[in-house]
Copies of this chain bind each other. A is one copy, B any other.
Amino acid sequence: MTDQPPVSPRKRLTASKTPRPKGAARVPSASAQDRRLRMIESKRASILQAALELFSRFGLHGTSLDQVATQADVSKTNLLYYFGNKEELYTNVLRQLLEVWLQPLQAFSVEQDPVEAIRDYLRVKLELSRDHPAESRLFCMEIMQGAPLLLGELQQPLHDLVENKVAVIQTWIDAGKLAPIAPHHLIFSLWATTQHYADFRVQVEAVAGKTLDDPAFFEETLKSLQALILDGVRPR
């Protein structure tokens, strides 16, 4: 049915843990501790990365821990040592995602020229769609399913952030620097148009034959969106 990732046998390159020679000190040195911590962190990170990619493609229920473990090159039991259960893994992926996701909007500020601010924002968001499509997809999926996990911790900060930027946009409009558009809808349109190229990538590819990975198509897309949002399609 839904395209499933192959569960290939995990490559066993088990990073040769050079065993401690008999009689050597049991208490690890500070640098050894550091190495160990770095190792643990990098393992957690690779599990999270694998989980992000799989969850964003096949959904929470469409992805098994076995598949995540295989892609992260650890055993399933080992994965469950790092993340107590599937839900904990999933929420950790979401939490990490949010940091990347709410970043770009922060930049909007009254001091900027609105035309430049919108131009820049479109570029940054389109770069996110190109470079972090998995994050875009998972965010979309989670929101579509009612954001059962994100909503609680997302709603308030998102609402506040957006209200803040709505005020900025309104200031621009009042100053005559921007046409009188309802600020919320401008923000939604900026999100929708840019994220579309990540979330509907296969449709874009089916229709246009290209994706944002093609540099020329990226520039063409950016210019088109900037022109559309700034000047519309009605001839002047």
Chain B residues near A141: list those with CB within 8 A.
Answer: 59, 141, 144
Q: Tell which of B58, B149, B188, B224 touches A196, judged by Cβ atoms closer than 8 Å.
A: B188
Q: Is the CB of A1 within 8 A of B86?
A: yes
Q: Is the CB of B188 within 8 A of A204?
A: yes
Chain B residues near A197: list those with CB within 8 A.
Answer: 188
Q: Report the Cα distance A147→B199, complex, angstroms.
A: 11
The oligomer's copy count stands at 2
Instruction: Report if A221 contacts B (CB, 8 A).
Output: yes
Nearest B residue to A192 by beta-carbon distance? B196
Instruction: Report if A182 contacts B (CB, 8 A).
Output: yes
Instruction: Report if A30 contacts B (CB, 8 A).
Output: no
Q: Tell which of B56, B118, B233 touches A181, judged by Cβ atoms closer than 8 Å.
A: B233
Q: Tell which of B56, B195, B206 touches A158, judged by Cβ atoms closer than 8 Å.
A: B206
